[in-house]
Chains A and B, each alone.
Chain A
Amino acid sequence: MVTYLLRRIGQAILVVVGVVILTFLVQRVVPGDPAVAWAGPRASAAELARVRTQLGLDQPLPVQLWNYFVGLLHGDLGISVHTRQPVASDLGQALPASLELVGTGMIIAVVVGLPLGLIAARFHRRPADVAVRLGSMLAVSMPVFWLALVLQQVFATALGWFPVAGEYLNSLNQTSPLHVYTNITLIDALFTGNWPIFTSTLEHIVLPALVIAAYPAGVVAQMTRAAVGDELVRDHTRMERALGFPERSIVTRFALRPALNPVVALLALVFAYALVNTFLVESVFNWPGLGTYAVDAIRSTDTPAIAGVTLLIAIVYVVANLAVDLVQAVIDPRVRLS
């Protein structure tokens, strides 16, 4: 177990180092002078020269790469061109907001997708199954950007059921200031008993979270349907039926647990995918997370920020994969970590 864990962590570090080298090289091979992005399009020659020295751009590439690595080891991802703040500090602010959105989306996806998958498996090839398959196919294939705009137009602007954009009502900062501990607004508001901000955030998160949930909910429903369907034709199910267990117990008690393994594996990957999907969703709903930050960074050719986001997403992927392997071993006794 320990050997396995060490080996996987070693592999993960190698992957991350590879990503660091790649992102650094991409920053440097992109045409154009990074000093111009920093100093502005109308910078004077003297200003550009000063910025090149300040950012170390006048040093040889291997020296710059080495300095970048050394900085990373100290948690220094460089300074963002568009915010002029340390990238690490920017990410520390933006990531919790994205985790809040993606986390809520994933909860919706599991709560909706899993039961639908079970219903589809239970009523195989009957109308309920067909409806779930069609619905999940639609959820998976709809472009998130389009879905975000449609939901915003219908439920916020036309019907006025939900706010158009933002994380919570801004005036609450003055009437009910939020004490921040985790930077995840829902959690901070809940644990500090700040109900105005908590309820306002819930109202604001519904639409973007539904958009984020659409893809994973569809995938989870389809995967659950397939996995549970496989279990329902196995020998142990025949025996359970012979023993007189009701069909609902067979599905939810005996077929679901072994079927969960591939679903959980998928969830981790879908989580990381959803984190990337937030790029567009956050932009539409003005959600102050990683996506908004990344879009701003791309618009302003902010290579340190782009590299920081890329590195962070890579780490999330690596950690998610590792976590899945560990969780699979916990929920399925057939899995051995070796």
Chain B
Amino acid sequence: MRRMIAVATAAVLAATLAACGGGRVRGSDSDQPAVNASPAAGDTSPAESSGAGTSDSTKTAQPSGTFVYSYHLNVVTDWDPATSYSNEIIAMENIYESLTHYDPATGKVLPGLATRWEESDGGATWTFTLRSDVTFHTGRAMDAQAAKDAIERTIKLKGGPAYIWDSVKSIEAPSATTLVFRLKYPAPLDLISSSAYAAYIYDTKAAGSGDLVDWFNKGQDAGTGPYTVASWTKGADVELRLKAYDKYWGGWKSDNYQQVEFRVTPQVTTAWQLLQSGDVDFVDRLNPQLFAQAQKVAAIQTTTSASFQNLLALYNTADGPMSNVKVRKAIQDAIDTKGLLAALKGADGAASGVVPEGLLGYTDGLQLTQNLEEAKTLLAEAGYGPDGKKLTLTLTYAQGDDDQQLFVTLLTSALSQLGVTLQATPMQWSAQWDQAKSTDTAKRQDIFVMYWYPDYADAYSWFANVFHSADPPYFNLTYLRNAQVDKKIDEIPELTATDKGKAESVYQELNKTLVQDLAVVAPLFVEKYERALAGDVKGYVDNPAYPDVVFVHELTHS
């Protein structure tokens, strides 16, 4: 009897295991359902291509090799280019393209699917001229009507950062290569069109009569970019594989990469070893120790560049002790940004004002420097100190963020020298944000530490979201309500579209007001990207407007 039970148990287990699968093929181009074999065009190799769609017949060589990107998180959360707003940007930017592209080196907007553009009506009308040699991976031609349909669908779905198109009143496609935007108010649409999210042009007819969202969610793409999805296996070591799109308008060279693999590697030590063993070509981040080690290895290249993401300490200007500007200025004086940067060992760069360098609005000369004597005096004037009241401040910051933890440790130590007690609490973002938005103002913190980055290469994002009056507060966690500041912020979109010089001076004025005069924010540092890549990869340039993206088509290899 017992043996029968054992045999029966084994049989049930075997049957259960067998039921787990259905004889599908894993990770190949024919893998279903977690895979795409883009219809028609993507199935032939570049060598078989007639060269149609490429502007230069010498560009139709057969690319070779596989570029392996080691990423520390899962890659794809949302396949829909209209709503995508997460890690998948590292793949999407190789699959989809936008009308324009931002170049941080010059601060200029470069052509993408649009070859040129012009604004009229004081920045309220924008006319883009599109390329005529572009096809979607679905095989359909990309023309002005298709671009109009894509942007209108993105606006309609209101997902991700679709708000970037808020200024758009209507879109017209008077000819196959002309796209006209009529705006509700002047805005820099060339810059907006270069956004890393919500600006992709895609084939809205890819699903035919089917549901396009479902179609995308099967891991299929309808872009115009150099690569198309070959296989997607959620949860696998190599989550995503892209292959070269043979009819890419930009053409191919023999030393371009034919395939791109995204390998999920949560541990930096593992990523480092995979890079050393030649299993991966690019690691998006290492820790400071491993990065220093990588810099000494001849077969590995390293790059360091500033990002557009900075760490801000936002002061509660509405309630509690920080509502007194003298206390805010005293805290500003207590912050040792030099010491912080030294402790971070080059992983982050100095911040000057709330706008990182490389964006319109960057203001030099606003770096914070520690002055404890001045801080003591200001606190005494505000009634705090040995002869006054005891001051206790609350601060919330991101749980698990070592850089923020370091800042908190240094600030706690500096404030203790001033007799100020800092009660710092590490929290998950959702909890930290919830508490900061609490309707009970007593529950809100005195100092809120958070990162901010723009959705497209425009400093307006900081000012409109973080410093403009908002009721109830959303991202404005300084709780600042200042009509003059609001007025200046509201001027920016139109000036950016029509008079960049004037926009720059408004930005500088705002920076000075917020950091020095009102002291509502302490910009602490600008995050740096430290990349490590295989020695034979050529042509890699970090573009902070597209965080963590490697534009693989721009690379070559030996």
* B25 lies within 8 A of chain A by Cβ: yes
Could you say which residues of chain A place their CB within 8 Å of the CB of B421? none
Asked if A323 CB lies within 8 Å of chain B CBs, one says yes
Q: Is A242 an interface residue (CB 8 A)?
A: no
Contact B237 A152 (CB under 8 A): no
Say yes or no: B26 contacts A288, CB within 8 Å.
no
Segment at the interface with A among B70-78, B292-300, B503-511:
B70-78
Give CA–CA (A201, B31) in the complex, Å: 20
Known: A174-B28, A177-B27, A326-B5. A286 touches B17 (CB 8 A): no
Residues on A with beta carbons closer than 8 Å to the beta carbon of B265? 165, 286
Among the listed B1, B20, B30, B434, which residue makes an inter-chain contact with A32, where contact means beta carbons less than 8 Å apart?
B434
Chain A residues in 8 Å Cβ range of B74? 82-83, 296
- For the complex formed, measure the closest distance between the CB of B60 and the CB atoms of chain A, giving whole angstroms: 23
Q: Are A173 and B27 in contact (CB-based, < 8 A)?
A: yes
Report Cα–Cα, A327/B2, bound state, in Å: 8
Q: How does the 8 Å CB contact mask read for B6-38 relative to A, with 1 for contact and 0 for none?
A: 100100000001101111111111100000000
* Interface contact A173-B273, CB-CB below 8 Å: no
Instruction: Please give me the residue from chain A that is nearest to B19 by CB atom.
Output: A182
Across the interface, A283 reaches (CB within 8 A) one of B3, B25, B266, B432, namely B266
- A96 x B28 contact (CB < 8 A): no
With A83-B74, A165-B270 known as contacts, the answer to whether A42 contacts B85 (CB < 8 A) is yes
A296 lies within 8 A of B25 (CB): no
Tell me the A128-143 residues at the B interface (CB within 8 Å). Answer: none
Contacts of B29 in A (CB 8 A): 174
Nearest CB on A from B199, distance (A): 16
What is the bound-complex CA distance between A149 and B273, given in angstroms?
10
> Which of chain A's residues have a CB closer than 8 A to the CB of B540?
none
Contact A301 to B267, CB < 8 A, known contacts A93-B234, A179-B23, A180-B24:
no
Contact of A90 among B26, B235, B267 (CB under 8 A): B235
B257-269 vs A, CB cutoff 8 Å, 1 = contact: the mask equals 0000101111101
Q: What is the bound-complex CA distance between A30 and B428, given in angstroms?
A: 10
Q: In whole angstroms, how far apart are the Cα atoms of A179 and B30 in the complex?
A: 11
A164 and B70 CA atoms in complex are apart in Å by 13
Most buried by A among B1, B17, B21: B21
> Which residues of B have CB within 8 Å of A96?
17, 20
In the complex with contacts A170-B237, A330-B2, A149-B269 CB distance below 8 A: yes
- Of residues 279 through 330 on chain A, the ones whose CB sits less than 8 Å from some CB of chain B are 283-288, 292-293, 295-296, 299-301, 323, 326-327, 329-330
User: In the bound complex, do residue B17 and residue A182 qualify as a contact, i.e. CB atoms below 8 Å apart?
Assistant: yes
A115 to B532, CA, bound (A): 46
User: Which of B198-242 touch A at CB < 8 Å?
Assistant: 217, 231, 234-238
Check if B279 is an interface residue, CB within 8 A of chain A: yes
B26 neighbours in A (Cβ, 8 Å)? 173, 177-180
| Contact residues of B between 135 and 164, Cβ < 8 Å to A | 158-161, 163
- B462 interfacial contact with A, CB 8 Å: no
Q: How far is the CA of A92 from the CA of B264 in the complex (A)?
A: 19
Tell me, yes or no, whether A160 is within 8 Å of chain B by CB.
yes
- Given A42-B85, A96-B20, does the pair A179, B25 have CB atoms closer than 8 Å? yes
Asked whether A286 lies within 8 Å of B5 as measured between CB atoms, the reply is: no
Query: Knowing A33-B430, A164-B279 touch, does A293 contact B235 (C-beta < 8 A)?
Result: yes
- For residue A329, which residues in chain B have a CB less than 8 angstroms away from its CB? 2
CB distance from B417 to the nearest CB of A (A): 32
Chain A's nearest CB lies how many Å from the CB of B99?
23
Q: Is the CB of B1 within 8 A of A1?
A: yes
| Residues A181 and B18 in contact in the complex (CB < 8 Å), given A82-B74, A170-B238 | yes
Instruction: Closest A residue to B472 by CB, please name it.
Output: A45
On whether A299 and B267 interact (CB within 8 A), knowing A94-B235, A286-B237, the answer reads: no
A32: which B residues are within 8 A, CB to CB? Answer: 427-434
A292 partner residues in chain B, CB cutoff 8 A? 235, 264, 266
Shortest beta-carbon contacts, A-B, top 9: A32-B430, A173-B27, A32-B431, A31-B431, A36-B430, A330-B2, A177-B28, A182-B17, A181-B21
Task: Enumerate 19 A-B pairs (CB-CB under 8 Å) in ascending A order.
Answer: A30-B431, A31-B430, A32-B431, A93-B234, A96-B20, A157-B276, A166-B237, A167-B237, A170-B238, A170-B263, A174-B28, A174-B29, A181-B23, A182-B20, A183-B21, A286-B264, A287-B237, A296-B266, A323-B9
